[in-house]
Structure 1
Amino acid sequence: MSLRLQNKVAIVTGSSSGLGRAIATSYAREGAKIVCADLQPTARTEVESERVINTDDLIRQNGGRAIFVKADLSKSDEVENLVTQAVAEFMHRRISIEANCPPARIHETPDDTWDITMAVNVRSIFLASKHTLKQMLSQEKNDGGDRGRIINISSIFGLVGGRFNCSYAASKGAVSNLTRQVAMDYGRHPLQCYLPGLYVEPCFRI
């Protein structure tokens, strides 16, 4: 069976749960070597005693290759270390990157909520793109003619807004436009920005 991502390396941020975990395991099934990045290797659950297997452990149990790197993506040195560890572990093959607030209207939004949302959703994309592009530019082109791809996860709320979601919508609008700008500046390094629809996470369950 031909694996579409054989010999590729993917850095997947927010990999401990939700969409990030799903992306990491899906990429691994297609043959990619996965660098799982998050603040903790195991997602928090509503039941304290419930144990959720780490994403990197799950990938290895199913025959894939993966490592976990703890990283706060709002801190430049930690993002740089993330890329360095990815290269050290899996050499300098193709690298892709995934990146991943309380509802409130703008007059109800605390300053620290705004700042945290922008740090997590926007600054993290800037830093991850900055440090991975340095690595990608040093790589030889692959058979497809590029040196790697950056895939940023945005949201439909970044285009049309959402009820009581001012900081989140603003941050995702920034992600979408930053991705367009980077695509223009690095046209030979294809960039894709997905605007996902609703997917089920524990926070949506009643």
Structure 2
Amino acid sequence: MTSPTTVLITGGASGMGAATAQLFTQEGARVFIVDRNATLAAETAARLGATAVVGDVGDSTFCEHAVRTAAAAGRLDAVVNAAGIILRKGGIDTSDEDWQRTLSVNVSGVFYMCRAAIRQMLTQTPNAAQQRGAIVNFGSIWGELSGKGALAYAMSKGAVHQITRTFGIEHARDGIRVNAVCPGEVDTPMLRAAGRAVPLSDEQAREMGERVVPLGRLAQPVEIARMVRFLCSDQASYITAAMHYVDGGYSAV
């Protein structure tokens, strides 16, 4: 599998983003971890041998800066938009602030980073597989299914799916592929934090996930990261504008 050599990963300091960063660094890629949490980003980058870029993806100027930083050596092969937040609130309990913050991180952050990355990739010479670059956005099964109890999150992931499809179609003939990975229930700090807000203990949140997933367990972050790595590689050269469900069968029931 021919993997990218320079990769930028938002939300790369923890959870699925960190698992993805680890896979790429193990393969020798130069990885840039983007995160708002400066301490965690620095710790993860040091542990993995990556570079931390600290800032808020909801700021378009920062996204442009992050892309320039990663592409400073002349090329940016892949961007993974893993940054995201979830609020376990129904529609009428979602405040204006909840709504705007979810939009800022989950929707605007993905759009801004895709836009900046594609502008950079368009300047790059195609590789041996006639690819200028690849982008993988983190969607969710909740982007297609109803999001009872998490309206803002479900809405935001539906928007990510449309951003993915549209950018993928718009730049298919430019050698830039755009896909989304759509996880279900994954054992991450974000899932546990969302459960505590209900409130559920970590054990209760895990058991709830296990009951609804046909495979009977939560995914581990690395299981999602493996799909991301594949979609960024030249082995996925005929795949674009598509949603890829890694959910243990959850979306089929």
TM range (shorter): 0.7 to 0.9
RMSD, aligned α-carbons: 1.7
- Are residue 36 (structure 1) and residue 56 (structure 2) matched? no
In 2: Cα distance, 1:73 partner to 1:183 partner = 20
In 2: Cα distance, 1:87 partner to 1:193 partner = 22
Name the structure 1 match of 2:132.
147
Query: Could you say which structure has the greater relative contact order, defined with CA pairs below 8 angstroms and 6 or more residues apart?
Result: 2
Give the fraction of aligned pairs with identical amino acids, expressed as a percent.
Answer: 30
Name the structure 2 match of 1:75.
59
Q: Is the contact made by 2:42 and 2:52 (CA closer than 8 Å) also made in structure 1?
A: no
The structure richer in helix per residue is 2
In 1: Cα distance, 2:117 partner to 2:32 partner = 13
Q: Is the contact made by 1:151 and 1:191 (CA closer than 8 Å) also made in structure 2?
A: yes
* Aligned residue identity for 1:149: A
Q: Is the contact made by 1:16 and 1:41 (CA closer than 8 Å) also made in structure 2?
A: no
CA shift, 1:98, in A, is: 1.2
* Aligned residue identity for 1:58: R
Q: List structure 1 segments (4+ residues) > 3 angstroms apart after TM superposition.
A: none
Matches within 5 A, 1:15-164: 15-43=12-40, 54-60=43-49, 66-88=50-72, 91-100=73-82, 101-164=86-149
Structure 2, unpaired ranges of 5+: 193-201, 204-253
In 2: Cα distance, 1:94 partner to 1:53 partner = 21
In 1: Cα distance, 2:186 partner to 2:2 partner = 24
In 2: Cα distance, 1:161 partner to 1:18 partner = 24
CA shift, 1:179, in A, is: 0.4
In 2: Cα distance, 1:114 partner to 1:180 partner = 23
Q: Structure 1, residues 148-196: CA drift from partner, whole Å, max 9, x if none? A: 0010010000000223010000000000011000011001311111111
SS at match of 2:103: helix
CA shift, 1:14, in A, is: 0.4
In 2: Cα distance, 1:120 partner to 1:20 partner = 15
Count residues with an aligned counterpart. Answer: 188
